A = this chain, B = another copy of it.
Amino acid sequence: LANEVEKTMQNAPQGATTHAISLLLGHPDPTTLLTPEFTEAMQNVASSPQALTALQYGSEQGNRALLDYLIGKISAEQSIALRHDQMMIVAGSTHAVDMIARLYTQPGDTVLVESPTYADALHIFRDHGVELCGVPMDKQGVCVDEMASLLSRLQHDSRLPKLFYTIPTFHNPTGITLIESRRQQIVELARRYGFMIVEDDVYRHLAFEQEVPSSFFALAGNVPVMQIGSFSKTLAPGLRLGWLVAPSEAIARFVGCGTTQMGGGASPLSAQIVAEYCRVGAWDRHVESLRRLYQMRRDTMLDALQRYMPPSVKWTQPNGGFFLWLTLPEPMQASVVKQIALAHGVIVGAGGGYFSNAADGSHNLRLTYSFAPPDQIEKAVEILAGVLNDLS
């Protein structure tokens, strides 16, 4: 969404954005990115013969030590028995989404998405020429009844979807988590209508209060699910490193595709550093500290919203992840609010960009609590509330 930031900046009154507080970007807190343990892992790799392997073309499936570590960890966390042929290392969730779109869709195919969903994923699917079809959400995630009706209509029009792209856990942009009973119902719809589920689960490790529901991958039985994980939200985006869990036939197809054959496995140098970092238990400790950090940020934002917002404004109550979602009263246009907030030094995401049909987001804002420090979050919410009070 950096293009959006840039456009926003260009349209801003001069001087307004110099000290603007960003509640826009879905970035991790920049102060968490470089820990002593990470520096040590990097230095260990730099000065050891491991670097020789990490600097050559990598094994297509990805760094073996990292795969072994992740298979053990994810199998335990999700109560599944992952086999080695069901996972590969990817260069971030971007790589996975793009590869899935490239190899499992054709231009003109239908892809179901949540409404709203991750703006940049919409962008990737559009680059591949697919038709996006949004399914409404409520506080418990995707509305399954509406999904069933939509699928029935699509079947009637011979436009059944190839896949359903979902962020079921600590959803981007709303922070909502899809309840487990609905996950089971969606698996049944996938079985009935023959579509794959792409489970973008990059926030799963950032749970604040409770157990997260079972993953689609764990619930799906023989319904094909591709589950995407990433080190971008829980370690460092600059590594370009994540993983993809999928049926072995799909992994074989990804490993055998042109880009993997040409470039080898994803990000071999980063993967070796992270394998070393994970080996000593550093990632587990880091994720634990991030959970506490982002929970405090979320509390700061919720407290400020409670204190300052006019009663006509509603928001979600995320139990993990980076975001919450504001719903403005009908007359207020998110795009107008965004511009006025910017003039007052606060950058927020207008809802339209997160919908396959932009008009559906006219009255929504996404607020990120992961990036700005607590005092800035509180100040930004107070300013935004002032703007909304003035408009009320």
Which A residues form the contact surface with B (CB < 8 A)?
1-3, 25, 27-28, 30, 33-34, 38-39, 42-43, 45-47, 51-60, 91-95, 97-98, 102-103, 106-107, 118, 120-129, 232, 236-240, 256-259, 261-264, 266-270, 272
Contacts and interface: CB of A to CB of B under 8 A. Distances in A.
B123 A55 contact: no
The oligomer's copy count stands at: 2
Contacts of A2: 57, 59-60, 261, 264
Nearest to A267: B240
A259 B97 CA distance: 9
A115 B128 CA distance: 28
Contacts of A57: 2, 25, 27, 232, 237-238
Q: Which secondary structure dominates where chain A touches chain B?
A: helix
Contacts of A270: 267, 269-270
A106 B107 contact: yes
Contacts of A123: 257-258, 261-262
22 contacts: A2-B57, A2-B59, A2-B261, A3-B60, A3-B256, A34-B52, A39-B47, A42-B51, A54-B238, A55-B237, A55-B238, A56-B238, A57-B237, A94-B259, A95-B259, A102-B127, A118-B262, A123-B257, A238-B268, A238-B269, A267-B270, A269-B269
B60 A34 contact: no
Contacts of A59: 2
Residue in A2, A33, A43, A54 whose Cβ sees the most chain B Cβ within 10 Å: A2
Contacts of A53: 238
Contacts of A266: 240
B264 A120 contact: no
Given A27-B56, A58-B238, 16 more contacts: A2-B264, A3-B261, A28-B56, A30-B52, A39-B47, A42-B46, A54-B238, A56-B237, A93-B263, A94-B263, A102-B102, A107-B107, A123-B258, A123-B262, A127-B258, A269-B269
Contacts of A238: 53-58, 264, 268-269, 272
A258 B125 contact: yes
A28 B52 CA distance: 12
Contact of A239 (B33, B97, B129, B269): B269
Contacts of A122: 258
A63 to B, nearest CB: 10
Contacts of A27: 56-57
A103 B127 contact: yes
A152 B162 CA distance: 39
